[in-house]
Amino acid sequence: MAEGLARHFDADLGELETRRFPDGETYLRLLTPVSGRDVVLLATLDRPDAKLAPLLFAVDALRDQGARSVALAAPYLAYMRQDKVFHSGEAVTSRSFARLLSFYFDFLVTVDPHLHRITRLDEIYTVPAKVIPAAPSIAEWIETHIPDAFLIGPDEESEQWVRDVAERAKVPSAVLEKQRWGDFDVAISGGSLRGIGDRQPVIIDDIASSARTLIETVKMLLKVGAKAPICIVVHPIFAGDAYQDLLAAGVARVISVNAIEHETNTIDISRPIAEALCEWSAQNDELIGAGV
């Protein structure tokens, strides 16, 4: 994605060197001059614990080398799901992570963060931030490639933006109900699938980590006699064997937005991210991108 962002807003693509020492610590060195320039660090933050230390080291190195400002382009923004205390003593990691990134960066752009009880990023992030919706890009792809789609949201949380995609793509939709008891213990029950007929079911979800929500939705659709569904995912984390398990469940195809690098990446989100960065840098003379 770094090359796509640099191309879309005519920026230089910076370089840095990073490696692990035998004891597990990180070595990082900037290879591109940044003095007086505005810098964008691209870091999609799936598997965030391994990426966080190098990311913060890079910010400090950039400022030490005279960078004028540092933005974070994080297509996937981690630690958004633990947004309240469910059991006494739990850390509200979404707030802790937000404080950390807000301290280090001057601007943040991300794609469809997992907003639920926290409804806006600025409720926990103090750094100026721009949220890029994936719905327009997904709708455009569906309209072109699956004109007979019937969109399905697997749970109530998905309703608002599944409806948005459906309206943009001019196709019908339905939202199901989900019960979750644990990371791998999920049940999907019906909503109204009236009108699905011979249309192509398309399940849309924001995050596929264990993929249990998608898997159970696929099983439910096949059980009621629907066609093998296509799954569209904004953030394809696919932890462990989740992707293989989803394929084995009988899905026709898995499509993802390139917010996280994965073999299913089909829908490119780099242009709207670049547009947000262009707005941020409109008052500046030069912009340089560096990937971590």
C-alpha to C-alpha distance for 203 and 38, rounded to whole angstroms:
39
In the listed set 98, 132, 166, which residue is the last one of a domain according to the structure? 132
The answer to whether residue 283 sits within a structural domain is no
SS3 259: coil
Only one residue has tokens 């799936």, namely 46
pLDDT tens-digit readout, 165-205: 999 999 999 888 765 544 444 444 555 677 788 899 999 99
Q: What is the pLDDT of residue 15?
A: 94
Residues 196 and 96 in one domain: no
Residues 73 and 155 in one domain: no
How many independent structural domains does the chain possess? Answer: 2
Q: What is the pLDDT of residue 284?
A: 61
The answer to whether residue 289 sits within a structural domain is no
Residues 196 and 253 in one domain: yes
Residues 18 and 111 in one domain: yes
Domain CATH number, residue 185: 3.40.50.2020
Query: Which of the four pLDDT bands, split at 50, 70 and 90, describes residue 291?
Result: low
Q: Which domain holds residue 16?
A: 1-132
Residues 8 and 113 in one domain: yes
Give the bridge partners for 255, in sequence order.
232
Residues 95 and 63 in one domain: yes
Contacts of 113 (CB under 8 A, 6+ apart): 77, 80, 121, 131
Is pLDDT larger for residue 19 or for residue 177?
Answer: 19
Q: Which amino acid is at 263?
A: E
